[in-house]
């Protein structure tokens, strides 16, 4: 496995564009928000300064209202659609207009723990920025204390069956002609369908038309789903920010109240019908009725759940390689199609960290399954959870980062 460590480091270096790292050449040629946070954790295993640079660069794209965009378009690349002019972001750098799961504060804390001397000045500079981003979520995105997504891309889990109901209610009227670029890089059977894509683009067009004004979007956007990914990652990130702030004597006023709100929000995502954490469509109050890999982020957020443990045992027994992105016993399960079944090393990492911290008996099994997955199938974007077939982009930054920081 020495060789795999070298391969993983080489992938990070190859995808390094100077100050930021692309997820993979071709398919994703810009800086993505949570990809970068994982990249930073990967770099921290062999180059701590480069790790901090990744996070520092990400926050140079932060908007005045606190939002940190999901894509930063540092240098234009015609191989990707939708690019900067389709989005019309209003931040200091060309960017998208939505955000992504807030894992940066958690990764920053893990990196700080590795070398406090190297990290302290970065934490001090990043702390108010991370605080502003988290407060933006608290101001604009809560529903019963749970955090909502306003675009399927925002949770990072683009085409999960959890969005099927809310997506069906959208009529993508006037979306017009556009040319997808993703299916030029990878096979269409591993990507979202045209039905989904029309709605993704329609939602982007609406945001641009409203100049990304959150108040107007709150009134007009039909897609608003309370989501376990966002809720659990923000709850965890807030706890990490509090710990960092206390340690360094920074202003943590109000964080405890926000954490209590998010704890209530997390509890509001428990769906008794399926005995699992679930997504809730805030427009209709309907549950998605889905056990997804995001359901298993509760431990990462510091919440133990006997019911969710039973679900974990069940899904792990059904597949070979870690947590599948959708319930393998559901008729909607599709083992190669992006977030409708494949296993993702990054989600396994987040779930696994939580399980390990809470000394859960399944923690080791998940880490070993993720190690075997990468050993046997390389550094793909995601994998078939049953036979490990690599899918999506190759030489993928976040899979390499998971290897270096956890699985390898």
Name the residues annotated as catalytic: 158, 381
The number of beta carbons lying within 10 Å of the beta carbon of residue 288 is 23
Distance of closest approach, residue 149 Cβ to ligand DGY, in angstroms: 12
Specify whether the backbone of 392 is left (phi greater than 0), alpha (psi in -120 to 50) or beta: left
Cβ within 8 Å of residue 113, ≥6 positions away:
none
Among 158, 227, 278, 327, binds ligand DGY (CB under 6 A): 158
Query: CA-CA distance, 147 to 383, in Å (whole number)?
Result: 28
Specify whether the backbone of 221 is left (phi greater than 0), alpha (psi in -120 to 50) or beta: beta
Distance of closest approach, residue 405 Cβ to ligand DGY, in angstroms: 22
Closest to ligand DGY by CB, 230 vs 266, is 230
Among 16, 54, 182, 334, binds ligand DGY (CB under 6 A): 182
Helices 48-59, 33-43: crossing angle, 10 deg rounding? 160
User: Restricting to residues 138-157, which ones interact with ligand DGY according to CB under 6 A?
Assistant: 153
Using Cβ positions, the residue closest to ligand DGY within the complex turns out to be 153
CA distances from 291 to 18, 132, 151, 236, 270 (A): 39, 31, 20, 20, 11
Which helix (H) or strand (E) segment is 48 a member of? helix 48-59
Sequential DSSP letters for 73-118:
-SS--TTSSS-HHHH---SSSSB-SS-----HHHHHHHHHHH-HHH
Strand partners, 44: none
Contact call for residue 382 and ligand DGY (CB under 6 A):
no
Distance of closest approach, residue 158 Cβ to ligand DGY, in angstroms: 5
| Residue 20 near residue 58 (C-beta atoms within 8 A) | yes
Closest to ligand DGY by CB, 137 vs 153, is 153
Closest to ligand DGY by CB, 73 vs 127, is 73
User: Restricting to residues 55-114, which ones interact with ligand DGY according to CB under 6 A?
Assistant: 70
Strand partners, 390: 383
Closest to ligand DGY by CB, 31 vs 106, is 31
Size of the site for ligand DGY (CB under 6 A): 4
Distance of closest approach, residue 45 Cβ to ligand DGY, in angstroms: 26
| Residue 192 near residue 338 (C-beta atoms within 8 A) | yes
SS3 334: coil
Distance of closest approach, residue 191 Cβ to ligand DGY, in angstroms: 7
Which of 60, 9, 6, 66 is closest to 31 using CA atoms?
Answer: 60
Distance of closest approach, residue 182 Cβ to ligand DGY, in angstroms: 5
Helices 363-377, 306-318: crossing angle, 10 deg rounding? 30
Burial class for 391, CB neighbours closer than 10 Å (0-12, 13-18, 19+): buried
Closest to ligand DGY by CB, 86 vs 250, is 86
Distance of closest approach, residue 23 Cβ to ligand DGY, in angstroms: 9
Closest to ligand DGY by CB, 152 vs 385, is 152
Query: CA-CA distance, 111 to 340, in Å (whole number)?
Result: 31
Which of 276, 347, 346, 285 is closest to 314 using CA atoms?
Answer: 276
User: Restricting to residues 304-323, which ones interact with ligand DGY according to CB under 6 A?
Assistant: none
Distance of closest approach, residue 156 Cβ to ligand DGY, in angstroms: 7
Closest to ligand DGY by CB, 28 vs 232, is 28
| Residue 248 near residue 124 (C-beta atoms within 8 A) | yes
Closest to ligand DGY by CB, 86 vs 372, is 86
Site for ligand DGY, rule CB under 6 A: 70, 153, 158, 182
């Amino acid at each position: 496995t020495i060789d795999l460590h070298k391969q993983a480091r080489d992938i990070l270096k190859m995808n390094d564009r100077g100050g930021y790292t692309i997820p993979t050449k071709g398919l994703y040629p810009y800086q993505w928000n949570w990809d970068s946070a994982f990249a930073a954790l990967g770099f921290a295993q062999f180059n701590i300064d480069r790790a901090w640079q990744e996070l520092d660069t990400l926050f140079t794209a932060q908007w005045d209202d606190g939002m940190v965009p999901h894509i930063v378009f540092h240098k234009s690349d015609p191989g990707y659609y939708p690019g900067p002019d389709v989005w019309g972001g209003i931040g200091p750098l060309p960017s998208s207009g939505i955000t992504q799961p807030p894992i940066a504060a958690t990764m920053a804390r893990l990196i700080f723990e590795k070398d406090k001397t190297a990290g302290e000045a970065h934490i001090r500079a990043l702390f108010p920025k991370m605080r502003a981003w988290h407060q933006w979520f608290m101001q604009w995105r809560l529903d019963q204390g749970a955090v909502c997504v306003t675009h399927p891309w925002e949770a990072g889990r683009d085409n999960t069956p959890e969005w099927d109901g809310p997506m069906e209610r959208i009529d993508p009227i006037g979306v017009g002609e556009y040319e997808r670029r993703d299916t030029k890089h990878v096979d269409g059977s591993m990507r979202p369908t045209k039905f989904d894509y029309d709605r993704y683009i329609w939602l982007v067009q609406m945001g641009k038309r409203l100049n990304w004004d959150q108040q107007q979007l709150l009134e007009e956007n039909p897609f608003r789903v309370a989501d376990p990914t966002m809720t659990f990652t923000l709850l965890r990130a807030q706890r990490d920010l509090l710990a960092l702030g206390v340690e360094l004597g920074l202003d943590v006023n109000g964080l405890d109240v926000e954490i209590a709100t998010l704890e209530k929000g997390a509890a509001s995502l428990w769906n008794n019908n399926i005995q699992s954490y679930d997504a809730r469509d805030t427009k209709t109050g309907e549950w998605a009725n889905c056990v997804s890999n995001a359901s298993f982020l509760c431990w990462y957020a510091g919440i133990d759940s006997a019911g969710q443990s039973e679900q974990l045992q069940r899904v792990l027994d059904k597949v070979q390689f870690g947590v599948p992105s959708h319930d393998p016993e559901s008729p909607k399960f599709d083992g190669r199609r992006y977030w409708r079944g494949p296993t993702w090393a990054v989600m396994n990492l987040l779930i696994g960290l939580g399980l390990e911290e809470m000394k859960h008996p399944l923690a080791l099994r998940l880490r070993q399954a993720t190690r075997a997955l990468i050993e046997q199938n390389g550094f793909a974007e995601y994998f078939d959870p049953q036979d490990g077939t690599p899918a999506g982009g190759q030489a993928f930054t976040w899979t390499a980062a998971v290897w270096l920081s956890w699985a390898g």
